[in-house]
Structure 1
Amino acid sequence: MSFVAVLKKSLLLVPLCCATAAYSEPLPKLELGVGAAVQHLGDYRGSSEEQTQGLPFPFLIYRGERLRADRDGIRGRIFHSRSVELNVSGETALNGDSEDNKKREGMPELDSALEFGPSLNINLSGYDFHEGWSLRMPLRAVFTVSSSGFEPIGYNFNPKLTYRWRETNTGWKAKFDMGALWATEKYHAYYYDVAEQFATESRPMYSAEGGFSGTYFKLSLKKRSGRFWYAWALRYDNIGDTVFADSPLVETDHYYSTAIAVGWMFWRSETPGRR
């Protein structure tokens, strides 16, 4: 497997693998680590073909005043209080490896993607954003990642309700998300269009529209123990009433993905960071 292929697949694991130390421990400003993860997911949302991937990866945790890299991904704080925050953040888009997908036979392979943009977050019930309910409203530009560089493929809007449990007596932290997705025509076209040159008797031409892109639920667990951490995530998407539901590339309304990871923090700075 080429380095680019490993990098593309590793990018899908980044949101799962960012972690934070327990509140009772000192919080260094910078930590470096390595980890390994196994994920099982469909080739793309709407595909009935699934795969399991196992990959090593490097990562970092950075607790700066404005720039953060932690369990919520990489983001820059524009405004922050206990009740409202505005930040610019990035995530990775959900899809696997479509190279051998039967529905897409003869079509270009789908690349992994990065999402980047602002998010307005409102604390609904907890003391701060580390516990209780919050409303998060990220609007992001999406770019594919390939050996030729980054290519923009549109925008998506992902309002979601998040519930966080503070650390339990066993050291585990839990988070539950439920949300909905809307995306532009260009974004849907990348995954679900069938151009004339790729149309077959069983795969007619298709042009996707912009609009509703489905709902989802996600549960994740994380635990930090000294220099080691552990994580698990499970996600379910339903795309039954989406604007692309009648695409010939859509085989099922249901999408499941799960991942488990373990990591080791081999270096930490002496400078304290912001929680």
Structure 2
Amino acid sequence: MSKIAPAVLMACAFVAWPASSHAEEKPLWEAGLGVGALAFPDYRGSDEVNAYPVPLPYFVYRGKFLKADREGVRGELFDKRYLELSLSMNATIPVSSDDNDAREGMPNLRPTLEFGPSLDVHLWRSRNEDMKLDLVMPLRLPITLEGSPQTLGWNFSPRLNLDIANVAGQPGWNFGVGAGPLFGAAEYHEYFYSVAPRFATADRPAYDAKGGYSGTHVLAAISKRFPRYWVGAYMRYDNLRNAAFEDSPLVRQQNYVTGGIGIAWMIGKSKRMVEVGDDE
């Protein structure tokens, strides 16, 4: 169960895909609940991949400052035609070293919560606003949960995002793809990839991870919001080649694909309607 709760947070990242790219009035909030299945490694670079059935919350909030949508939960500090500054969040799952061969005998990995500012540059919009290209630049502070919280420096994951509404001429079907490099502080990489001398073995030499380049990733998602339910799926590709921690004995694979699918049924929405911009 300890792995399922953070997995739900990950599911929220692709649940609330926008239903339209045109300005209109929509409920202040919408909520739903469903089921999904996610498959991902214990940590980036692990060769142990697990699939989890998870409860799948669907939640959209369209406040003036606080928003919850396909970008996660965030607070908009300012939003202009070409530039947006917001607060973003992310999370990682806990890992029991008893269940991971590479980390056997080492301390467990606690779940982390990451939050920080994201500067988004709106690079291009199609004439009908059905396609848009953004440069998204989130800088987050990771903090471990459970027990005494521990800060893990920072991580930075700039990426290019292409969003397409009504993809292939199919009303309501929305597709998005994003790609970019990842960077992390030494403390962040040490937490996941360092091996202290007291935990070294013949097959797992001591290792001191450095900060810097963390690899690249590509994320794609597709979804549709029907009147009574929502369906969606996502797929992510990671490449750790030339990462600062590439030589860590805890890195067992450099390329892998993860993904998930889900369906959620609408259970409620606000009576209050608000006007949303072209990006909602």
**TM-score normalised to the size of structure 2?**
0.89
Residues 6 and 91 in structure 2, CA contact (< 8 A), matched pair in contact too: no
Who is 1:75 aligned against?
74
How much does 1:66 deviate? 1.0
C-alpha distance in structure 1 between counterparts of 2:228 and 2:153, whole Å? 39
Q: Is the 8 A contact 2:19 2:173 kept in 1?
A: no
- 1:36 paired to 2:53: no
Q: Residues 176-195 of structure 1 correspond to what in structure 2 (within 5 A)? A: 176-195=177-196
Letter aligned with residue 192 of structure 1: Y
Q: Report the Cα distance in structure 1 between the residues aligned to 2:21 and 2:112, rounded to whole angstroms.
A: 33
The CA deviation at 1:255 is 2.6
User: How far 1:5 moved relative to its partner?
Assistant: 4.2
Alpha-carbon shift at residue 20 of structure 1 (Å): 3.4
Q: Which amino acid in the other structure matches residue 13 of structure 2?
A: P
Question: Which residue pairs with 1:9 in the alignment?
Answer: 7
SS in structure 2 opposite 1:206? coil
Q: Unaligned 5+ residue runs, structure 1?
A: none
Match of 1:140 in 2: 140
Q: 1:130 to 1:210 in 2, by over 3 A?
A: farther
- Count residues in correspondence: 271
| Identity over aligned pairs, percent | 37
- The alpha-carbon distance between structure 1 residues 127 and 116, as it changes in their structure 2 partners (threshold 3 A), is farther
Once the two structures are superposed, what CA deviation does each residue of 1:68-93 show, in whole Å capped at 9, x if it has no partner? 00111111111112211111111234
- Unaligned 5+ runs, structure 2: none
Aligned ranges 1:197-216 → 2 under 5 Å: 197-216=198-217
User: Contact (CA 8 Å) 1:41, 1:96: kept in 2 or not?
Assistant: no
Query: Contact conserved, 1:161 with 1:177, CA < 8 A, in 2?
Result: yes
- 2:160 is paired with a residue whose SS is strand
Q: Quote the RMSD (CA, aligned, Å).
A: 2.1
Structure 1 residues 13-69: Cα deviation after superposition (integer angstroms, max 9, x where no partner): 221223334468851001222121101111211111211111114342100011100
Contact 1:27–1:273 under 8 Å retained in 2: yes
Distance 2:158 2:39 in 1: 25
Shift of 1:235: 0.6
CA distance in 1, matches of 2:158, 2:33: 32
**1:250 aligned partner:** 251
State the TM-score, normalizing by the size of structure 1: 0.91
Conserved 8 A contact 2:19-2:165: no
Look up the match of 2:261: 260
Aligned partners of 2:29, 2:160: CA distance in 1, in Å? 29
Could you tell me how far apart the structure 2 residues matched to 1:5 and 1:220 are?
22
Alpha-carbon contact 1:223-1:229 (below 8 Å) kept: yes
SS in structure 2 of the partner of residue 154 of structure 1 = coil
| 1:46 is aligned to 2:22 | no
| Inter-partner Cα distance in structure 2 for 1:234 and 1:112 | 22
Q: Which moved more, 1:264-273 or 1:122-131?
A: 122-131
Rounded Cα–Cα distance in structure 2 between residues aligned with 1:150 and 1:127:
45
Q: 2:151 maps to what in 1?
A: 152
SS at match of 1:88: strand
SS in 1 for 2:26: coil
